[in-house]
Amino acid sequence: MSSIISGRCNRQSFLAVLKLMLICCCFGTISGTLNVSETNFESLTSSDRQIYRSSRTESRIFDIECEEGHEKLKNSFSWADYLVLCTMLIVSCGIGVFYGFFAGEQTTSSDFLLGGSSMGTFPMAMSLAASFVTAIELLGNPAEMYLYGSQYWMVCLSFLFAVPLASKLYLPVYMKLRVTSSYEYLSMRFNTYTRMFASALYVIQMVLYTSVAVYAPALALSHVTGLNVYVAITVVYVVCIFYASQGGMKAVIMTDTFQAAVLVGSILLIVHLGEKYVGGVGPIWSQSYNTDRLEIFNFDPNPTVRNGFWPVVVGGTFYWMTMFCSNQASIQKYMSVESISQARTALWVSCIGLILIFTVNFYTGMVLVAHYKDCDPVKAGTILASDELLPLYVISELGHFKGITGFFVAGIFAASLGTVASALNSLAAVTCEDFLQGVFGISLPESKGAFWAKCISIGYGALSFILVFVVERLGSVLQIAISFNGMVGGVTLGLFSLGMFFPWANSKGAIFGATVALALVMWMGIGQQISMASGAFNIEEKDTSTDLCPCINTTFLTKENNTTAKQEPVFVLFRVSFLWYSAIGFLVTIILGLIASIIFGAEDAEHVETDLISPPIYDFFHWLPRHVKEKLRVPVKLRHSTRDNSVQLKGIVNANIDLSDESLAKSDEREYTRKISVMTA
């Protein structure tokens, strides 16, 4: 992509700033918040792109008079904008320098990957929230409100369901085992192959996602400042890799805390200024109400309904459970604090933060509805997709405030950098623990653990950087790459749940169930994306107007209408709301995993270590009648670990004789469990 030189001529300046809006096209859909436009520039063929570019420069609609109406879009970054953006990047690097060189030497892998389990509750909570609120949510939620209404805001309810489930069912197991990689659990509970399967999925998922998450904000910087896009990408990667690799988990968490403040500050400032421009809360609320966008309780049970109450709340709960309960980056942060009470408090604080951010984000969408009530810039052809609405609004309406544009772009960078930094740190943990030690049996010296973790983190950053140059040529496949997050998450959650909730499940059943579930949701997701890209079906949007638009790109609008006219019947599974993907992956993994386990020979529940089963599940077994317990072959008497953190050997307990009196010291616990897992593999 060639560099855009501001000021070369009026038309080129206009196009340079206009291209800023392409940032959102790089994000696609994850967790359902970002709209996939059928007219996405990247999804057009080469000839179509040439026609579109020609329409921008040759169409009589976009003549000199029309360009003068968009004069406000020609503003480039001011010195204040540069100052704000550079300050955010410099502070991020400074935190990495402090924790990497001045805050005490990090020699062990535990120091680097877990922060020595010495982090504070509030910073960890802010880090969790920052890693979940990516630029995808930051740009996608306002567009979601603008196009489809407020129904997706109900996902905030799913936070309130997912957090207590994570806190009570999953967190006690992780905290008791004190695993660096969450996939160590799968080796303890099932075997090494199950661990490899889940670890490999996570690596593929995060490497693809980090490439997209860095490419998008770098493209934004390029289009705003005129800097070559490849230079912008390099700058972003250098900053991100530097502080993540040098400072480890401590730098990641503290930088996330700072970046969360930048992110929240930017969206609050934008919504505050925007509210004033459209006349206050009254007109904003009235416009959304009059256009039927204040829709919350749509109880249509049809699974193909995109944003009904059931897919948003129920499907959203499963999706956010994948983030809170089985995502390596999240679990690694839980391990960075000392006690389970700290981790639980951090979960609830991050939940409140997420609800606040999502609420402000959707209110920003209501501001956009009020501002563009008489001229939809998407239908007018001013921008290529609705995902570009917020950048367009900030540049065109608030750009005259010095520093606002820079603060907005800094917020986008903060959202993306926080996610990428957490990903690099978690990828280093997975590689060290699951592949080098778990698969290849390479024991890293404790004194060199931090060094090798840093090298691996840098290596993944370099790999992600290289993939950026592939990502930018993938076009509409970007949406598939990002949607891979939700597809993989449900399957992974199913594996962990199968192990923690069902002591009869075995390794063969787990792998079979997960493989079939992954194939199913991938087939559904890819089929839906292909159908949408081909124009086979569209998603119904709320009404918008172009009555008072000063400029309408009729060439682009005609093409959009032609694309819409090609709709054909689509296979029903391809029309299922993507919000159900995580739930489908989870349920198929559980159901088929249990069936296959029975067929291959169910695990003897008495031989499953109690520390590997979720405590509430064992409590449930405790209250079962004795004859039911004997039939299910679950322990008659519960044997949780003692308070001195010893772990008891597996055995059978009856009324008179306890065959499991032998204990293991805490220092031998992990080695013992690994030996057991190798023997059963």
The DSSP string of 61-113 is: GG-HHHHHHTGGGG----HHHHHHHHHHHHHHHHHHHIIIIIS----SHHHHH
- R_g over Cα of the chain: 26
Q: What is the pLDDT of residue 18?
A: 34
Confidence of residue 184 (pLDDT cuts 50, 70, 90): very high
* The 3-state secondary structure of 468-485, one letter per residue: HHHHCCCCCHHHHHHHHH
Q: ∠ at Cα 555 (375, 217), nearest 5°?
A: 65
Residue 639 backbone phi and psi in degrees, to 5: -135, 70
Contacts of 484 (CB under 8 A, 6+ apart): 204, 205, 208, 209, 522, 525
Q: How far apart are CA 211 and CA 217, in angstroms?
A: 11
Distance CA 326, CA 491 (A): 10
**Non-local CB neighbours of 362 within 8 Å, separated by 6+ positions:** 141, 142, 144, 145, 150, 152, 153
pLDDT at 13: 37
Here the tokens at position 448 are 């060199």
Task: Report the b/e string of 160-198 with b at 16+ CB within 10 A.
Answer: ebbbebbbebbbbbbbbbebbbbbbbbbbbbbbbbbbbb
Under a CB-based contact definition with an 8 Å cutoff, are residues 131 and 418 in contact? yes
The neighbour count for residue 72, using CB atoms within 10 Å, is 13
Which residue, chain included where needed, has tokens 């661990």? 195
The 3-state secondary structure of 132-162 reads HCCHHHHHHHHHHHHHHCHHHHHHHHHHHHH
Mean pLDDT of the chain: 79
Of 208-212, 329-333, 571-575, which range is least confident? 208-212
pLDDT value at 220 more than 60: no
Residues 113-166 have pLDDT tens digits of: 999 889 999 999 999 998 888 877 888 889 899 999 999 999 999 999 999 999
Residue 182 has pLDDT above 50, yes or no: yes
Is the CB of residue 384 less than 8 Å from the CB of residue 21? yes
Single-letter code of the amino acid located at 66: C
Reference 220, options 419, 427, 405, 46; nearest CA is: 405
Where b means 16+ CB within 10 Å and e means fewer, 108-137 reads bbbbbbbbbbebbbebbbbbbbbbbbbbbb
**Beta-ladder partners of 653:** 658
- CB neighbour list of residue 562: distance below 8 Å, 6 or more residues apart: none
Residue 376, amino acid: D
* pLDDT of residue 23 exceeding 80: no
Q: Name the nearest CA neighbour of 500 among 101, 99, 30, 171.
A: 171
* pLDDT score for 56: 43
Q: Are 309 and 297 in contact (CB under 8 A)?
A: yes
| 480-537 tens-digit pLDDT | 556 678 889 999 999 999 999 999 999 999 999 999 999 999 999 888 888 887 777 7
Give the chain's domains with CATH numbers.
10-592 (1.20.1730.10), 604-680 (no CATH)
Q: Quick one: pLDDT at residue 484?
A: 76
CA atoms of 405 and 669, how far apart (whole Å): 54
Q: How confident is the model at residue 475 (pLDDT cuts 50, 70, 90)?
A: low
Under 8 Å between Cβ of 337 and 119: yes
Which tens digits make up the pLDDT trace of 32-84? 333 333 334 444 444 444 444 444 444 444 444 455 544 445 456 788 888 99
- pTM for the predicted model, two decimal places: 0.81
**Integer Cα distance of 88 and 90 in angstroms:** 6
Let me know: does 621 contact 629? Beta carbons within 8 Å. Answer: yes
Q: What is the mean pLDDT of residues 2-20?
A: 37
Whole-number pLDDT of residue 677: 45
Largest interatomic CA distance in the chain: 94
CA dist 294 → 99, 254, 272, 378, 673 (Å) = 46, 37, 20, 21, 53
3-state secondary structure of 534: coil
Which is higher by pLDDT, 216 or 461? 461
Pick the more confident residue, 211 or 357: 357
Does residue 680 register a pLDDT over 50?
no
**What's the pLDDT tens digit per position in 284-316?**
999 999 999 998 888 888 888 888 899 999 999
Q: Is the dihedral of CA 9, 12, 15, 16 positive or negative?
A: negative
Per-position DSSP letters for 425-489, written without gaps between them:
HHHHHHIIIIIIIIIS-----GGGHHHHHHHHHHHHHHHHHHHHHHHTT-TTHHHHHHHHHHHHH
Going from the C-alpha of 48 to that of each of 471, 559, 560, the distances in angstroms are 20, 9, 11
Residue appearing with tokens 């995902």: 387
Higher pLDDT, 609 or 68: 609
Report residue 373 as tokens.
């009530």
- Kindly state the average pLDDT of the residues 197-201: 96
Cα dihedral sign, 425-429-432-435: negative
Q: Cα dist. 123→129, 249, 364, 417, 448 in Å? A: 10, 11, 26, 16, 27
| Buried b / exposed e along 424-433 (16+ C-beta atoms within 10 A) | bbbbbbbbbb
